[in-house]
Amino acid sequence: MLKNYIAALAILTLAGCQSTESENTMAENDQNQQVEAEGEWISLFDGKTTNGWHTYGKDSVGRAWVIDDGALHLDASNKKDWQTSDGGDIVTEEEFEDFHLELEWKVAENGNSGIIFYVKEDTAKYDYTWNTGLEMQVLDNNGHPDAKIEKHRAGDLYDLIASSPETVKPAGEWNKAEIISDNGQLVFHLNGEKVLETTLWDDNWRQMVAGSKFADMENWGTFRSGKIAIQDHGDNVWYRNIRIKRL
């Protein structure tokens, strides 16, 4: 009996240690995930697959989005209206609130695209990403007709604020873009220079929206968290080194 009692006690003690170790490991994992969520860079594109993205309102990414030499390329050879057949805007799986987004982009001659953020993916209410999300314009300023419209040039907060100075590179060359949104303060960088800064969601913001093409879009520019989107505007465009940091 004594031997059995001692053996049972040993088993219980070992189980308790293993349980404690397991709990500690889980706590460490949770802590690591929290650190990543709050301050570490998170890759949104691995350079090899479209994992972590899907076409807006769908479960997967359209075949027009292909991997091209480590970049995410919209092959716009098969156009359909103003977009691409089997393309469409793609969005991240996750939503982001305060963030610092970095990526590189290049566009074909006469090309148009955009980086859209605070997208609310609710296709029952909103048909497109730009029905809710703000856009940093991606454009060939030397060739696309939109470049003749104020607040529609590369680096602009589309249809709301013009960027300055103009630092965009010609079509076919890579540009580095940064979008920082932190507690209502929005900053754009393009090719290492700050080109735009504004405050979101205050009275001045609401006045700007009321004077823009988005004035009649319900809830446009009001969401304080949402998905990141890359726009299919029917032109060849490439994106790479896409990463984000939660602030």
Please state, in angstroms and rounded to a whole number, the distance separating the CA atoms of residues 224 and 205.
Answer: 13
Q: Are 49 and 154 contained in the same domain?
A: yes
CATH number at residue 163: 2.60.120.560
| 3-state SS assignment for residue 117 | strand
* Residue 21 domain boundaries: 1-39
Q: Are 24 and 55 contained in the same domain?
A: no
Q: Are 70 and 2 contained in the same domain?
A: no
Whole-number pLDDT of residue 39: 74
Please state, in angstroms and rounded to a whole number, the distance separating the CA atoms of residues 47 and 106.
Answer: 15
**Backbone φ, ψ for residue 31 (5° rounding):** -65, -40
Whole-number pLDDT of residue 5: 42
Q: Are 176 and 222 contained in the same domain?
A: yes
Please state, in angstroms and rounded to a whole number, the distance separating the CA atoms of residues 228 and 96.
Answer: 8
Band of the pLDDT at 26, cuts 50, 70, 90?
very low
**Radius of gyration, CA atoms only, the chain:** 23
Q: What is the pLDDT of residues 62-90, one digit of tens each?
A: 999 999 999 999 999 998 888 999 999 99
Q: Are 152 and 235 contained in the same domain?
A: yes
Query: How far is residue 47 from each of residues 50, 52, 195, 233, measured CA to CA in Å?
Result: 8, 12, 28, 22
Q: Are 33 and 4 contained in the same domain?
A: yes
Q: Are 216 and 240 contained in the same domain?
A: yes
Q: Are 105 and 68 contained in the same domain?
A: yes
Q: Are 52 and 30 contained in the same domain?
A: no
Is pLDDT above 70 for 13?
Answer: no
Q: Are 14 and 100 contained in the same domain?
A: no
Q: How many domains does the chain have?
A: 2
Whole-number pLDDT of residue 41: 97
Q: What is the pLDDT of residues 91-149, one digit of tens each?
A: 999 999 999 999 999 999 999 999 999 999 999 999 999 999 999 999 999 999 999 99
Q: Are 73 and 143 contained in the same domain?
A: yes
Exposure string of 43-80, with b = 16+ CB inside 10 Å and e = fewer, is ebbeeeebebbbbbbeeebbebbeeeeebbbbebeeee
**Residue 247 class from Cβ within 10 Å (0-12 exposed, 13-18 middle, 19+ buried)?**
middle
End-to-end, the C-alpha distance of the chain in Å comes to 61
Whole-number pLDDT of residue 38: 55
Q: Are 224 and 124 contained in the same domain?
A: yes
